[in-house]
Amino acid sequence: MAGYSDGLTSASVTDRLKCVRRQRAIWRRPVLRQAKFIPVPSQAWFEAKSHKDVISGRVPGDPHRLDVVYLSTSVDDKDRLKELHFDVWFDAVYIDPGQDLIVLVSLALALDSAGLRPSPRLHLRSLRDQRPHSRAKETFIDLASYGFPAVAYVRRVKIQVSGEYLAVTINKSLAVEAILVWHWPSGSILAALRSTHEATYLTAYCTSDGHLLVNRLYRYARTSFGINVYALHMDEEVPSLLAIFDLPALVWDSSQLLISNFLPGYGKFTQLNGGIAAGATHIVPAQVLVQLRVDLQYTLFTPLSAFLSPAVLEDQRRPTPLRFAWNAWGPRSCRIFDEAIEVMVCGYKAIYPNYILDFCPIPDGVEDGSITRTPTTIRSTIFAEPVETSLPFRKVRLPFPSSLAEDQLQLVFEDLDGPKIVRATCDEFILIPTSVDVYAMLPGDVETETRE
């Protein structure tokens, strides 16, 4: 109804319906109330990342230490900042607070005490006690066993956890060298996709129900820019290619330098990572709006259901993939904007610094002219021809007391008390937060009752 999934709960249908209606009211006409100011002791950090309702920071010279700051208003101040120590050296980290999971990426950039270079690994640990995760059959995944390239040639490694699936994309250049997906509780490898000279993978996005979206480009064909949809299988290492969705044709020369990225999904401080950390008794936002950033300039929004329609899902082991031309699916199912800003996604909502674009396809019975149906046209770009898209959306203002400052970043999460928007004030020269303001989102009528 509102882009939410129902968590485990003993609440009655009536109570759950009230909860859904309250959520719709919050996003339809939000009121913001500052709920918490949190100082962040980040003076020694050289890197910061967001992980839903947790911010992590790394300290130079101590590759075994990770500082974490909990943003939820339900956390006691004495438990808000923790200094974690691990028995392994790590170079990157991904945290899924909802599953008490922390993935430590050890790329073996340094030699061990014996002067040898260890094998690159993914360590699966508990955020709570830093021990091997109780649900993981294996304590680590040895990347070298799956053809991980020599570390000296690795430019970037991205981690995404979506439910029980762990996806890793490896870049040796702007393009992706390989996409690896595991079922992390069992340690089973479910996919190993590698770029070739003709076919280049640009970015990947794994869903919690076992499907993989891959943005790909065939270098020598203008009409080969698109998204492949794969089904992952627990009983084999080869995923099934279910469908190919063409995207607008590119200008020929631009394909050589194209940068593309699915958001959300990865551990960048300015982005929401994966699903919202879920409590045991409330509904949580589902990942239903896909955001694809193309060439650092264009943002494509489309509902996940466009790629996972009944026609696509009816045969999970289809021998020949379905193919959808751009003109047959894209103009009505997408909205493409020309914008430099990267935004967050929560349910069907794209959250900008001062407003929300709500792409929920189910109307709430209120037609007040706030729904935009006029097509957006992109001209004179990397696309070979003008691109027109018309996915409807509603624009809702976020009533912040002031605009987002140049030294601020914005993120969003949801805890037991409802959705929160965070504005993090950063150091003047680097994107590391020194403090955060947590704003609670309330429906207008609730705020009025509170004041009275």
Q: Which tens digits make up the pLDDT trace of 335-388? A: 999 987 878 888 888 999 999 999 987 766 666 667 899 999 998 788 889 999
Question: Residue 172 pLDDT more than 50?
Answer: yes
- Provide the domain limits for residue 150: 4-451
> What CATH code is carried by the domain that includes residue 278?
2.130.10
What local confidence, expressed as pLDDT, does residue 282 receive?
Answer: 42
Going by pLDDT thresholds of 50, 70 and 90, the confidence category of residue 277 is very low
Q: How many domains does the chain have?
A: 1
The one-character DSSP state at 132 is: B
Provide, rounded to the nearest whole percent, the portion of the chain with pLDDT above 90: 44
| Residue 444 φ/ψ, nearest 5 degrees | -55, -40
Cα–Cα nearest to 395, from 359, 446, 361: 359
Tell me how far apart the alpha carbons of residues 433 and 423 are, in angstroms, rounded to a whole number.
9
Provide, rounded to the nearest whole percent, the portion of the chain with pLDDT above 70: 81
User: What's the predicted TM-score (pTM) here?
Assistant: 0.87
Containing 195, the helix (H) or strand (E) segment is none
Question: Residue 265 pLDDT more than 60?
Answer: no
pLDDT: which is higher, 17 or 383: 383
Tell me how far apart the alpha carbons of residues 300 and 335 are, in angstroms, rounded to a whole number.
6
pLDDT: which is higher, 132 or 318: 132
What local confidence, expressed as pLDDT, does residue 347 receive?
Answer: 82
Tell me how far apart the alpha carbons of residues 105 and 102 are, in angstroms, rounded to a whole number.
10
What local confidence, expressed as pLDDT, does residue 191 receive?
Answer: 95
Question: Residue 263 pLDDT more than 90?
Answer: no
Name all contacts of 321-326 with Cβ < 8 Å and 24+ positions apart.
321/228, 321/229, 321/241, 321/242, 321/243, 321/244, 322/242, 322/243, 322/244, 323/243, 323/244, 323/246, 324/243, 324/244, 324/245, 324/246, 325/246, 326/226, 326/245, 326/246, 326/247, 326/248, 326/249
CB 410 within 8 A of CB 422: yes
What local confidence, expressed as pLDDT, does residue 270 receive?
Answer: 28
pLDDT: which is higher, 198 or 255: 198
What local confidence, expressed as pLDDT, does residue 381 receive?
Answer: 80
- Mean pLDDT for the stretch of residues 422-435: 86
Strand partners, 349: 346, 358
Question: Residue 269 pLDDT more than 60?
Answer: no
